[in-house]
Chains A and B, each alone.
Chain A
Amino acid sequence: MLELRFHSRGGQGGVIAGKLLAVAVFKEGRFVQSFPTFGVERRAAPVKAFVRIDDNPIRIRNQIYNPDHIIILDSSLILMEDVTQGLKSGGTILINTDKPPGAFPFADGFKVVTIDASAIAVKHGLGSVTQPIVNTAILGAVAKALRVVKIDSVVAAIEEEVPSKAAANAAAAREAFDTAGE
């Protein structure tokens, strides 16, 4: 079983990213569970979302403490909270930022991958420069860097589930997939 944790701020779409990833994974015939932080969500406050993926039915229904990988939609959260808490050794930290991986001195044993999802989102008209909606772009990078899902499944999930600007969201995911590191 693979467990992921998304870090974002309320309003950035981290919870929706988790749900879209669930739809994409399910399209590949695997089992999936996705849930937000169990609590009260407020705009701009730190929010976490979680995804479990397995080839067998998922019976475990408690919270996730030791994710295999983490995805950070807002790099300012790295200064605010211990984002790597419980992260398994060898896990990947995928960060939305315009900086290179070397700019983030996490402890040894973690791999850092960066993607400028904000710039990609703005380029495709998703949100504004100050408040880009990065959740679909980041999923393209998830497909590339974490290899937990195929990009075609992500795009199909976006086309099915995103109520407006589905084509722009799908294009953002594809561009992020094409530009993200592995």
Chain B
Amino acid sequence: MHKILTGNQAAAWGAMCAQAQVVSAYPITPQTTIIEELADLVDKGMLKAEFIKVESEHSAMAGCIGAQAAGARTFTATSAQGLALMHELLHWAALGRLPIVMADVNRAMAPGWSIWTDQNDSLAQRDTGWLQFYCESNQEVLDTTIQAYRIAEQVDLPVMLILDAFLLSHTSEAVDVPGQEATARYLPPYKPSIYLNTKEPHAFGGIVPQDIYMEFRYKMQVAMDEALEICQKADEEYGAMFGRKYGLVDVYPNDDDDDDDDDKPKAQSQKPKAEFDVMLVTSGTVTSTARYAIDRMREQGLKVGLLKTRLLRPFPTQLLCEAVDGVPKLAVIDRNICVGMGGIWAQEIKAALYHQPYKQRPLVLEYIAGLGGRDITPEIVEQIALDAHKRDKAMDTPKWVGLKE
């Protein structure tokens, strides 16, 4: 069933299709309409869930933790300062191995007070043990929400899916909604092996002495390593069932892009067959605008391509190395800034490329753009590609694009 939905509605309808049993949430612009939509779906009986209104984001996550530990499938959503307030409990959810699913609407951190998009809120939660998916369209928001439950419940780790403020959250477009029945064929009911049960009382989260804490952490690392393959498989099977899949990284243009009527799944390695002088590296909605800009640039004879990074944790190191193999230059567009270091995706990508033999590593050029919701137009993308084209060595500090003099 196709519907015209905003990105926020798509996240809510994804949780509805997945039959989340408990929603515990607190409103914050630009996330608010996610929980308004969920409240409406619960009210109409389209989602049979407990809707818990709480007094803060810290409590919202606490509500999810309690419900998930008791064996319920949970959902919540937040943005920016709300996500930051949750920080302590993000660790608690992940170290407690609770497969909670949350949508974060990327919003710039304050001050200066902003409600517009950038990625610093979610990227600051990189080390909490949550998987993180960055979405490009409203359809991808809905599909990723459903995939997130399947993945989370297989690896016993929480999953955050991330959508850009306004550019997705408040933008309406057509979304194919699979519905609860079809989704249930992809996503089996949540049946945790251990949960809080009054008939067989156990405690969670007790003190762990020095002789076993490391093993808890090691098991998380093993689960994250295994998660990569599980994420791939979840995407492949989703594609086989619903006709849409995204890969963990995506190369554009890719010779496979022409094979839309081919019912064989795309090669998972996404190896570029086109030759690129420069590959832009993007996440979120910048990817979508960059595809448009790349089509324009290629018409003028520029050999520019794109690598979309969909997954931040676990980081798809091997897939990334394969995707950029033979490409001389990467231009990473970061809609975020780690002050004192640079663009955060650029740092991740440089670390991953250390797995390449030295001489095969592409030059990594770092660009900062679109902070606090500043518009990233096709012209900005073209400016970055042309700048990267001219360079033959790394920059001392990232280049800020569209900055006022």
Chain A residues in the interface with B (C-beta under 8 A): 18-19, 22-23, 26, 31-36, 38-40, 58-63
- Please indicate the chain B residues that have their CB under 8 angstroms from the CB of A26 in the complex: 2, 4, 174
Q: In whole angstroms, how far apart are the Cα atoms of A18 and B285 in the complex?
A: 21
B170 adjacent to A33 (CB under 8 Å): no
Q: By the criterion CB–CB under 8 Å, are B2 and A35 in contact?
A: no
Cβ 8 A contact of B289, one of A22, A36, A61: A61
Closest partner residue, chain B, to A34 (CB atom): B172
Complex Cα distance A23/B289, Å?
23
Judge whether A61 and B174 touch: CB under 8 Å.
no
Stretch at the interface among B61-69, B75-83, B235-243, B374-382: B374-382
Provide 17 A-B residue pairs closer than 8 Å at the C-beta atoms, listed in order of the A residue.
A19-B4, A22-B172, A23-B4, A26-B2, A32-B173, A35-B171, A38-B116, A38-B165, A39-B115, A40-B115, A59-B291, A59-B292, A60-B292, A61-B168, A62-B167, A62-B375, A62-B376
Q: Let me know if A36 and B170 touch, CB within 8 A.
A: yes
Please provide the 5 A-B residue pairs with the shortest distance between their CB atoms, ordered closest to farther: A38-B166, A35-B171, A59-B292, A61-B285, A34-B172
B288 at the A interface (CB under 8 A): yes
Contact between B378 and A22, CB atoms less than 8 A apart: no
Interface hub of A26, A38, A61, A63 (most chain B Cβ within 10 A): A61
Find the B residue at minimum CB distance from A1. B292
Q: How far is A22 from B172 in the complex, measured between Cα atoms in Å? A: 8
Secondary structure of the A contact surface, majority rule: mixed
> Does B373 belong to the interface (CB within 8 Å)?
yes
Q: Which of B29, B165, B170, B375 contacts A63 (CB 8 A)?
A: B375
Residues A35 and B289 in contact, CB atoms below 8 Å apart:
no
* Residue contact A33 to B171, C-beta cutoff 8 Å: yes
Q: Which residues on B are within 8 Å of A, measured CB to CB?
A: 2, 4, 29, 115-116, 165-168, 170-174, 285, 288-289, 291-292, 373, 375-378
Residues on A with C-beta less than 8 A from B29 are 40
Distance in Å: Cβ of B122 to nearest Cβ of chain A: 18
Q: Which residues of B contact A34 (CB under 8 A)?
A: 4, 171-173
Which residue of the partner chain A has the closest CB to B377? A62
Assembled-state Cα–Cα distance A126/B178 (Å):
35
- Chain B residues lying within 8 Å of A63, measured Cβ to Cβ, are 375
User: How far, in Å, is B401 (CB) from chain A's closest CB?
Assistant: 14
CA distance A33 to B285 in the complex (A): 13
User: Considering the chains assembled together, what is the distance between the CA atoms of A33 and B167 in angstroms?
Assistant: 10
Residue pair A22, B377 in contact (C-beta under 8 Å): no
CB-nearest residue of chain A to B2:
A26
Q: B173 near A60 (CB under 8 angstroms)?
A: no
Shortest Cβ distance from residue B53 to the other chain A in the assembled complex, whole angstroms: 23
Give CA–CA (A34, B172) in the complex, Å: 5
Q: Is the CB of A33 within 8 A of B115?
A: no
The chain A residue sitting closest to B284, CB to CB, is A61
The answer for the CA separation of A38 and B288 in the assembled complex, in Å, is: 18
Contact B289 A62 (CB under 8 A): yes
User: Nearest A residue to B295 by beta-carbon distance?
Assistant: A59
> Known contacts being A62-B377, A62-B378, is A33 close to B173, with CB within 8 Å?
yes
* Distance (whole angstroms) from the CB of A99 to the closest CB of chain B: 32
Question: Smallest CB–CB gap between A38 and chain B, Å?
Answer: 4
Check B167 against A32 for contact (C-beta < 8 Å): no
How far apart sit A59 and B289, CA to CA, in the bound complex (Å)?
6
Complex interface: chain B residues within 8 A of A32 (CB): 4, 172-174
User: Nearest-CB distance from B330 to chain A (Å)?
Assistant: 21
Q: Which of B116, B172, B292 contacts A35 (CB 8 A)?
A: B172
Per the bound structure, the CA–CA distance linking A20 and B174 in Å amounts to 12
Least distance between B280 CB and chain A CB atoms (Å): 14
Give the complex CA separation of A60 and B375 in angstroms: 12
A32-B173, A35-B170, A38-B166 known; A61 vs B4 contact (CB < 8 Å): no
